[in-house]
Chain A
Amino acid sequence: MMLLAKLRALLWRRKLERELDEELAFHRAMLAEKQAGTGRPGRRFGNELRWREATREAWLVAWVESLGQDLRYAVRSLRRSPGYAATVILMLALGIGANSAIFSLAYGVLWKPLPYPQAERLIDLKQGRTITDHVMVSGWDVEQARQVNTGLQNWILYARSEALATGAGTPAVWQGTMTEAGFFPMLGVRPILGRLLTPADDRPGAPAVVDISAAMWRERWGGSASVIGRTLNLDSRPYTIVGVVPESFTFSGKSNAFWRPWQPKGDSSSGRQYGALARLAPGVTLAQAQRGLDLEMARLAQVKSSDKGWRFIARPLHAALVGDAGNQLHLLLAVVALVLLIASINIACLLLARAQRRARELATRAALGAGRARIARHLLTETALLVGAGFGASLLVAWAGIGWLRAAAPASIPRLDQVALNGPVLGFAAGLSVLVGLIFALAPALRAAAPALDTRLQGRALGPRHLRGRTVLIAVQIGLAVVLLAGSGLLLKALGRMMDVRLGFNPSHLLVFYVSPAPARYPKTPDLLNLYDRVSASLAALPGVRQVAAASFLPFNGNASTGYALPNLPMKPNDDSQSVGINVVGPSYFAALEIPALTGRVFLASDRAGSAPVAVVSQSVARTVFAGKNAIGQRIRLDWGKDPWRTVVGVVGDVRSYLGSQPMPPDPTVYIPSAQTDVFAGEPFVLRTAGDPLAIVPAAQKSLQNVDPDLPLDQPQAMAEAYDGELVAPRFRGVLVSGFGLLALALTAVGLYGLLSYSVGGRRAEFGVRAALGARPGQVMGLVLRQASWLIAGGALAGLVTAWALARFLEALLYGVRPTDLGVYAGAVAVTAAVGLAAAWGPARRAMRVDAAQALREG
């Protein structure tokens, strides 16, 4: 048996060698016996090595020859059916390619280890009161904790830093990091140029040095090596540039321009505003370190009352960076695997159909003496060729898919730069191809290799009995399509809900930007207020500007909350349950954002320092804090510096400042006039423009520089864009899953169409008989459509049940939509049924048209 012989040579070479040895040993023993009997001296056994080689070669040559033969035969037979070959290759390319693209996304973001040495022992530290509530850490707490043995070592504190950078081209505000100088050595980063900060730069009296980012280096110094040693002024303080940090270091974020050394002062009143990193000491586990931290925090809470109830939360750095992205990616992986399953079912049906169609040809060959195994081998080679071509095509699809993902994925997905067509992705694609190839090669090959000669040779048409397996497969396909469509529907509905959220203000035609006056020139609040007044006046004079306002916080740009007190309700400084949102705003804020004033009035120019302290509250404050009583005239005091008792003069509509992942009531907010407080960060400005907000930026910039030549206009952004930024992730999810859902539906339609066509083709005789016996064309068509309907109904029902069971896994991603939303499920089933019936239409019409006489002759 040639197949067996070949397989032996391939897989059991050693066994072959052993058998050869045994043959030789036997031969030698017989020879020895014979020579012992005759007494003649033994011949030399000949050059054993040479003819062993010759034997081995015989096996190899035969194998290579027959492989070549098989390949040529396979190519010939595939070329005779180009449609079949193209369809299979296309389905493989789409299924494997899509899976590889999503795998590369998941691998780059979730699974690929961080590029730092011993990255799994790097710990990110946050603080919180519950396990899910993460905020930055307090410097004082870290100072205490690092001196104690909690199982963590090499603590590094760092913080975001913003500084007005001068001395390097146009002055602008740069985003940067200030950090304890052990930062880079701990992460094991290497500079592109110069050197990176070391602990030596932290010593008192050490010269002020700074590292800059590669992006900034290229933009401002054209990538020249002469940047080392130049001076950069940050907030009017000189720093010497000593190194350039490579672009691949994305830990501090893409827009991070500089890193400067810094010693946190760590007084006990500093808020929670720092980031902290540490390393697990050798031999310590994360659980042990967490326990050590909990003990230390319990001790600190007794010394500092504001630490009560807080704990350190230690997470591996990888988990901290990845955050929530895992949820989304697991969803995508599941979706794309289902698509591959659907495509595979189509390929399986195609292969089975082809095997059945060629049954006659193969039966003839078998009758002429070709062995079963030989035929199986030919079919295997054909499948291998298809899978190989499919794998190649899938790489193209994967490459295109990865390119699109990198461009279209929301910026909130971390580590996107790690997503590429690299080794592991190629390996995944290859492995998937092999798996698919094996499964699909075995089934038809085994079937075709054992033909029932008589049935096929007589050429009788194959009845529906032979299609049972394929019918089940198509039903499964329909079920999967329903599942995917239901998922898409839920996600799209959630997106719709998010987009429908009433913001409480009008985000269109709004320009937001930051103004950062040099602290040296405007040291006191009145100076700042004066500056902002002049800036506002200058901007308001610009044509195309309708309103100008400044505020501490703008929607989608941050918010803050603080404690409050009422005449009969004392302040509770450390109790967060008695707090409201707070916003310090300029007088035209409400007009600029078009926030409706419901009762009373908004701030006027007369609300200044020295006049009666006033406040404006949002509707939900009136409802919750003042318990429905008329808020106008009520008094309230906020925990905001030395804020006095204020009288409420107006109630405005609620404003949402962020969307979040689940619908929530808007934050109750108290507004106080910027002119009446000392604590005013007052950096963001908002302009309501007549036309496109971004078009006004150059004019606004010049206007600012008219007031103060060193006043840059920073980070201009259209408010609509910031709002859109909240929608990017749900939109990405929705688009991707729906895209796959539609692809699945198309594949399912193709599969159903193929099955019904085949079935109708095989039943021509039956339809001919029916027509001859007087059946009307409509009745024949009805037969086929009924068959299709049963199939669709069965599959859809199974799909519905599955979708219902699986939907709860999506819960976290569904904004305002319940996973059991009946409307979506009904829609998914309806769409699938419609598409399925459309696919059945063609074969049904063909059944209707069967000519009775011709069909009877054929059958």
Chain B
Amino acid sequence: MGAERDNLLPGTLDLLILKTLERGEFHGYDIAERILATSDHVLQVEEGALYPALHRMQVRGWLGARWGLSDNNRRAKFYRLTTAGRRQLAASRASWERVSLAVGKVLRAEG
């Protein structure tokens, strides 16, 4: 089963990142691994998409960041949700569910 690489829209990626960070602080590599694992290895996030998204969301104030030590004692940048980010997560999630419901309706329509 091939990993879906190029089909993730940027908005969707943001949503996934925000959701992943709901549970705590993680660095970039961890975020990608969690998304991979949680999606049963379907959604593989490339570094080329991940880091621009992380930085963009940090600039917009949805994520905060700090430098810390990883599990294996290496310096890494940890991201976390801000208040604005939590609001954005709720909004994006609602929007995504609305859209996917609508898409599903169109796909299930006969004729």
A51→B10 CA distance, assembly (Å): 13
Most chain B CB atoms below 10 A, which of A22, A47, A48 = A22
State whether the Cβ of A20 lies closer than 8 Å to any Cβ in chain B.
yes
Residue of A nearest to B87 (CB): A369
Question: What are the interface flags for A36-77 relative to B under an 8 Å C-beta threshold, 1 for contact and 0 otherwise?
Answer: 000000000111101100110011001000000000000000
- Give the dominant DSSP class at A's interface: helix
A 273-305 contacts with B by CB, 8 A: none
- Residues of B near A59 (CB, < 8 A) are 55, 59
Interface residues of A (CB under 8 A from B): 1-2, 5-6, 9, 19-20, 22-24, 26-27, 29-31, 45-48, 50-51, 54-55, 58-59, 62, 369
A55, B51: Cβ atoms under 8 Å?
Answer: yes
**Given A2-B59, A2-B61, A62-B56: A27 touches B48 (CB 8 Å cut-off):** no
Question: What are the interface flags for B29-51 relative to A under an 8 Å C-beta threshold, 1 for contact and 0 otherwise?
Answer: 10000000000000000111101
State whether the Cβ of B27 lies closer than 8 Å to any Cβ in chain A.
yes
- Residues of A near B70 (CB, < 8 A) are 26
Number of interface residues of B (CB under 8 A): 23
**Given A55-B55, A58-B55, A59-B55: A29 touches B48 (CB 8 Å cut-off):** no
State whether the Cβ of B105 lies closer than 8 Å to any Cβ in chain A.
no
A1→B76 CA distance, assembly (Å): 19
A267→B52 CA distance, assembly (Å): 89
A803→B55 CA distance, assembly (Å): 59
A19, B77: Cβ atoms under 8 Å?
Answer: yes
- Residues of A near B67 (CB, < 8 A) are 19
- Residues of B near A51 (CB, < 8 A) are 47-49, 51-52
A23, B76: Cβ atoms under 8 Å?
Answer: yes
A210→B76 CA distance, assembly (Å): 82
- Residues of A near B47 (CB, < 8 A) are 24, 27, 45-46, 51
A369→B83 CA distance, assembly (Å): 10
A51→B47 CA distance, assembly (Å): 8
- Residues of A near B28 (CB, < 8 A) are 23, 26-27
Q: How far is the CB of A463 from chain B (nearest CB, A)?
A: 36
Nearest first, the 4 A-B pairs at minimum CB distance are A51-B48, A62-B59, A58-B56, A54-B52
**Given A46-B48, A47-B48, A51-B52: A23 touches B77 (CB 8 Å cut-off):** yes
State whether the Cβ of B98 lies closer than 8 Å to any Cβ in chain A.
no
State whether the Cβ of B74 lies closer than 8 Å to any Cβ in chain A.
yes
A205→B74 CA distance, assembly (Å): 93
A48→B61 CA distance, assembly (Å): 25
Q: How far is the CB of A51 from chain B (nearest CB, A)?
A: 4
Most chain B CB atoms below 10 A, which of A6, A20, A54 = A54
A815→B88 CA distance, assembly (Å): 77
A20→B76 CA distance, assembly (Å): 10
Q: How far is the CB of A355 from chain B (nearest CB, A)?
A: 25
A22→B58 CA distance, assembly (Å): 17
Most chain B CB atoms below 10 A, which of A30, A48, A51, A369 = A30
Sample of 19 A–B contacts (CB below 8 Å): A1-B61, A2-B60, A2-B61, A5-B58, A22-B77, A23-B27, A23-B28, A26-B75, A27-B47, A48-B48, A50-B48, A51-B47, A51-B52, A55-B51, A55-B55, A58-B52, A58-B55, A58-B56, A59-B55
